[in-house]
Amino acid sequence: MGAGAIAVSPSRRPPWLLITLALLTSLVMAVPIGYLVYYALSMTDDVEPLWSGPMRIRWWNTLLLMAAVTTTVAGLGIVASWLTVRTNLWGRRLLAVLLVCPLAVPPYVTAYSLLGLGGDDGLLVRLLGADSSLLRFWFVDAQTGRFHVPRLGGYLGSWLALSAYNFPYVYLPLRAAWHAIDASQEEAASSLGRSRAAVAVWVVGPQLLPALLAGMLLVALHVMADFGVVSLMRYETLSTTLYARYNSFDTGNAARLALVMISFALLLLMGEWLLLKRLRLDRAGVGTARIARRTDLGIWQFPALFTCCLVVVMGVILPVVTTGYWMSTLSDPTIWTSIRKALWGSVVASLPAAVGASILAIPIALLSVRYPGRLTAIFERAPLVGYSVPALALGLSFIMLCLAPWMPELIFETFYQSLPLLVLAYILHFLAEAVGPIRSSLRLTSPRLEEAAWSLGASPWGAVFRVTLPIMRHGILVAAAFVFLSCMKELPLTILLAPVGMETLARNAWDHAENAEFARAAPYALITLCASAGFVGLLLFERRHES
């Protein structure tokens, strides 16, 4: 009897405690969203048209940005992954790491740095001088003779910032897909008389496609849900409209917009699941792949290097340099009190969220690995729903629930505009990040371990505390770190749910950047950037650790 067949024997019922905990988590996830849907569908007064009038432009803006960013990162991702895996590109090992680094820069920091670059008082003018011939050559209006350096903004700025940030989400799965392709397949195709182009289209292409599409869907989801970048860039999309409606106390129309965004997100998520199902099939049976011979780039080294460096410059170097520069111009000593306060605010909200998310992730991970089944599949997907529901919509759903007319006074008083509610929203939004590492730490170990403990006389609970939890310890710590760092840089949820007067890093960075106070925004941006970099460092370390 194969080992796998027994590991999932359906005769073992999952413990009720795990089920209860996971069920509770799913319910807490479902109730606010469910109420939001109900509220949005049942409202009848002052209904703003969703498709016509000014909304049409916002739809157009959102879809245009999604399409532009997705195709940009897809094109760049294919080229860059091929260059770093299958060619003799100079410095490909270093580039392979650098190309992941844009993940470490929160997109609103990239947007902030792009905004701080241009403008008559921007970084370019300050560094090169207002009389620089280079600037004058480009930016003097030929008719009026007036010197004006425009600020990157709107569609162009949003496109650049979001493309730079989202690039690794396509690059990473593509690189993995390239590595997974057994070179002997290509050799087999060539030996069967297919040309190089035919091999690329018929052998390589289909194997890259699932990874590419999965990455593109994730990027589309990010772009649709983004608030930080488009709000700073003053580019009107669905999410900025939602925020504007909420700010003008038009919660009804905000809720309807949130419903549209949630449906959109779930549609994308469903596409992702369908793809991942295929992806798993594709990977089945791949043994140790043979490394392909690297293509000699020859004279193409230079354009290739330029392309890769462009991504790194836009995604990493520019934000770091700009933020660093604005930081150095900061001379107001009183800001340090504010920084301390914001840092404290961020930590106070992020730490409990990290602890809570890791604890709630344990039953979900245990159920999904040790007791796979229909019911546990639902529990497993609940965190993904929380993760993919746009943060603005999620935050709004919590606010709506607190404001519900039937909500007891006590709960409203305790939770509305309170730290616990912010922490809860963080937990539900980032639970998926916590489940991942805990699940993989469980997967690495044999389900026989608990059985071995039982057969040695340990009771079921004894086995959990003496064997299962110690084995998961590493995964739990990593999960907590992931969630902590994610919360530190999270913007939309913080803006919506942070208690009045509470300062956090992300919120302050965004506030100051909104008001074009680039120097004042710099320290907050820099600290969130560090938190984010820690996240990516951990991610890269964990990947290496696992392989």
Partner 1 sequence: MTACPLQIRQLHKRFVRDAAWVVEDVSFDLAEGELLTLVGPSGCGKTTILRLIAGFERIDAGEIRFGEDLLAAAPQQPVHIPPHRRNIGVVFQDYALFPHLSVLSNVMFGMRGRRRSRRDRALDLLAMLGLRDLARRQPHTLSGGQQQRVALARTLAAAPRVVLLDEPFSNLDASLRETARRDVCQLLADQGVAAILVTHDREEALSLGRRVAVMHRGRLVQIGPPEEVYSQPVNAFVARFLGAAIRFQVRAAGTIADGPFGRLLLRRPVQGVTDVVLRPEQVTFVSPQDSDVTGLIVRREFRGPVQTVTVRIGQQTFPIVSDSRTAPALGETVGIQVSGDVLPFEESP
- Judged by CB under 8 A, how many residues of this single chain contact partner 1? 29
Between 3 and 500, CB nearer to partner 1: 3
Between 10 and 193, CB nearer to partner 1: 10
CB of 483 to partner 1, least distance (A): 23
Answer for the pair 224, 261: CB distance below 8 angstroms, yes or no: yes
Between 439 and 512, CB nearer to partner 1: 439
CB of 469 to partner 1, least distance (A): 10
Residues 389-428: x/- map of binding to partner 1 (CB under 8 A)?
Answer: ----------------------------------------
CB of 2 to partner 1, least distance (A): 7
Interface residue with partner 1 among 2, 287, 405, 501 (CB under 8 A) is 2
Q: CB neighbours of 57 closer than 8 A, spacing ≥ 6?
A: 236
Instruction: Tell which positions 8-27 bind partner 1, by CB under 8 A.
Output: 9-12
Q: Tell me if 6 contacts partner 1 by CB under 8 A.
A: yes
Between 341 and 443, CB nearer to partner 1: 443
* Burial (0-12, 13-18, 19+ Cβ within 10 Å), 23: middle
Q: Tell me if 462 contacts partner 1 by CB under 8 A.
A: yes
Tokens describing residue 82? 């091929």
Tokens describing residue 208? 């890259």
Which amino acid is residue 442, in one-letter code?
A: L
CA dihedral angle for residue 407, residue 34, residue 64, residue 247, rounded to 10 degrees: 0
Interface residue with partner 1 among 49, 460, 515, 545 (CB under 8 A) is 460
Q: Tell me if 298 contacts partner 1 by CB under 8 A.
A: no
Q: Count CA within 13 A, CB hemisphere, residue 534.
A: 17
CB of 277 to partner 1, least distance (A): 23
CB of 18 to partner 1, least distance (A): 17
Interface residue with partner 1 among 68, 244, 458, 538 (CB under 8 A) is 458
Q: Tell me if 144 contacts partner 1 by CB under 8 A.
A: no
Q: Tell me if 147 contacts partner 1 by CB under 8 A.
A: no
Q: How far apart are CA 238 and CA 224, in angstroms?
A: 8
Q: How far apart are CA 371 and CA 448, in angstroms?
A: 13
* Burial (0-12, 13-18, 19+ Cβ within 10 Å), 338: middle
* Burial (0-12, 13-18, 19+ Cβ within 10 Å), 50: middle
Q: How far apart are CA 424 and CA 501, in angstroms?
A: 19
Q: Tell me if 467 contacts partner 1 by CB under 8 A.
A: yes
Between 3 and 142, CB nearer to partner 1: 3
Q: How far apart are CA 476 and CA 167, in angstroms?
A: 28
DSSP per residue, 65-84: HHHHHHHHHHHHHHHHHHHH
Q: Tell me if 533 contacts partner 1 by CB under 8 A.
A: no
Interface residue with partner 1 among 457, 500, 544, 547 (CB under 8 A) is 457
The helix or strand, by DSSP H or E, that contains position 59, with its residue range, turns out to be helix 54-86
Degrees, nearest 5: CA angle 42-405-28:
80
Between 1 and 284, CB nearer to partner 1: 1
SS3 percent helix, strand, coil of the chain, rounded to 5, is: 80, 0, 20
CB of 466 to partner 1, least distance (A): 8
Between 120 and 546, CB nearer to partner 1: 546
Instruction: Give me the residues paired with residue 14 across strands.
Output: none
Instruction: Tell which positions 435-454 bind partner 1, by CB under 8 A.
Output: 445-446, 448-449, 451-454
Between 286 and 456, CB nearer to partner 1: 456
| Backbone torsions φ then ψ of 147, nearest 5 degrees | -90, 120
Q: How far apart are CA 173 and CA 404, in angstroms?
A: 42
Q: Which range of residues in 29-37, 88-96, 302-310, 455-463 is near partner 1 by CB under 8 A? A: 455-463
Q: Tell me if 456 contacts partner 1 by CB under 8 A.
A: yes
Between 323 and 376, CB nearer to partner 1: 376
Answer for the pair 363, 21: CB distance below 8 angstroms, yes or no: yes
What is the C-alpha radius of gyration for the chain, rounded to an integer number of angstroms? 25
Residues 472-511: x/- map of binding to partner 1 (CB under 8 A)?
Answer: -x--------------------------------------
Between 56 and 448, CB nearer to partner 1: 448
Between 43 and 471, CB nearer to partner 1: 471
Between 331 and 455, CB nearer to partner 1: 455
CB of 8 to partner 1, least distance (A): 10
Q: CB neighbours of 178 closer than 8 A, spacing ≥ 6?
A: 81, 82, 85, 86, 208
Helices marked H in 444-467 — which ranges? 448-455, 460-463
Instruction: Give me the residues paired with residue 147 across strands.
Output: 140
CB of 235 to partner 1, least distance (A): 51
Q: Tell me if 369 contacts partner 1 by CB under 8 A.
A: no
Nearest C-alpha neighbor of 529 from the set 69, 96, 108, 97: 108
Provide the binding-site residues for partner 1, judged by CB under 8 A: 1-3, 6, 9-12, 445-446, 448-449, 451-460, 462-463, 466-467, 470-471, 473
